[in-house]
């Protein structure tokens, strides 16, 4: 249900407020609901706020939760450019709008996958706009790129299958407008972004919690999975060595953990915000 109250007041009960943010010639759809501490949930590449509905509803029990769609995802229109900086501009625009709403406190910024990387970059550049970060299976300073020259063909085929599978969602709140080629290019760019993300972490003084999958690429013993899973854990071990204050939780899951383990993730997020609380390693 869409309420009539002003968007500076948190919706109550099961109410959800819908509004838009205009940025870079695009209209970004935003939803807000729940009551409690402000929290912004940023989706990742090829995921939408509709996809994150279970986690959103769980968090709304004790948070004033804001969700939105990145360009080319869900109810947001397609764009003429897709890049990490373009997506970061979308998040920055949403956060700037929230900053004008008179929230009672700076929000917790939760990012999934690409959304986690966006959250780190946003917090490093605009520290006054967030209270803390929760990063779900992203923003990983891996010691080596995921995608090697030898693995390009396999990655291209995987992306093509992913794009084909998304056709069924066309015209719905779960649609993704990006082509297989655009997703492929973003995958390559993300390896570059993550190669320098430790420097961004060094600029952040806020509390940070990370929630990671034990098997980001699945539990197969063949193909890319074993190497990718090793790199994923090695990257987080590298991060914690450099930033030992970061609370780390591992879930026995693959990269779909926000869909398969939403109750666990909601519980961890609540636990990281208890006084003197830390998530279990």
Q: Tell me the per-residue pLDDT of 49-86, one tens digit each, with 9 for 90 and over.
A: 999 999 999 999 999 999 999 999 999 999 999 999 99
Over residues 126-153, mean pLDDT: 95
Going by pLDDT thresholds of 50, 70 and 90, the confidence category of residue 154 is confident
**Distance of alpha carbon 205 from alpha carbon 158, whole angstroms:** 37
Q: Tell me the per-residue pLDDT of 239-263, one tens digit each, with 9 for 90 and over.
A: 999 999 999 999 999 999 999 999 9
Q: 142, 114, 141, 112: which is closest to 199 by C-alpha?
A: 141
Structure tokens, 10: 């948190």
- Residue 187 class from Cβ within 10 Å (0-12 exposed, 13-18 middle, 19+ buried)? middle
Per the model's pLDDT, the better-predicted residue between 275 and 49 turns out to be 49
Residues 264/251, Cβ–Cβ less than 8 Å? yes
**Residue 9: partners with Cβ closer than 8 Å, 6 or more residues away:** none
The domains located in the chain, with CATH, are: 16-272 (3.40.50.1820)
């Amino acid at each position: 249900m869409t309420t009539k109250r002003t968007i500076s007041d948190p919706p109550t009960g099961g109410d959800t407020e819908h509004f838009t943010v205009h940025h870079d010639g695009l209209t970004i759809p935003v939803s807000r609901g729940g009551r409690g501490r402000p929290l912004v949930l940023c989706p990742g590449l090829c995921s939408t706020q509709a996809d994150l509905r279970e986690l959103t509803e769980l968090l709304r029990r004790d948070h004033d939760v804001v969700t939105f769609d990145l360009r080319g995802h869900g109810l947001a229109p397609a764009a003429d450019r897709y890049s990490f900086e373009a997506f970061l501009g979308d998040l920055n625009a949403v956060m700037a709008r929230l900053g004008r709403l008179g929230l009672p406190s700076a929000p917790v910024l939760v990012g999934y996958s690409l959304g986690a990387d966006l959250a780190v970059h946003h917090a490093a550049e605009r520290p006054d706009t967030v209270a803390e970060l929760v990063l779900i299976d992203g923003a990983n300073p891996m010691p080596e790129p995921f995608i090697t020259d030898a693995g390009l063909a396999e990655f291209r085929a995987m992306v093509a299958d992913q794009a084909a599978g998304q056709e069924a969602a066309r015209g719905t709140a779960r649609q993704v407008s990006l082509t297989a080629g655009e997703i492929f290019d973003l995958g390559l760019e993300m390896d570059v972004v993550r190669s320098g993300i430790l420097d961004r972490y060094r600029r952040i003084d806020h509390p940070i919690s990370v929630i990671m999958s034990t098997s980001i690429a699945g539990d197969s013993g063949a193909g890319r999975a074993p190497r990718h899973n090793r790199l994923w854990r090695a990257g987080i071990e590298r991060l914690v060595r450099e930033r030992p204050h970061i609370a780390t939780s591992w879930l026995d899951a693959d990269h779909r953990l926000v869909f398969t383990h939403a109750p666990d993730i909601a519980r961890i997020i609540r636990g990281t915000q208890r006084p003197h609380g830390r998530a279990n390693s």
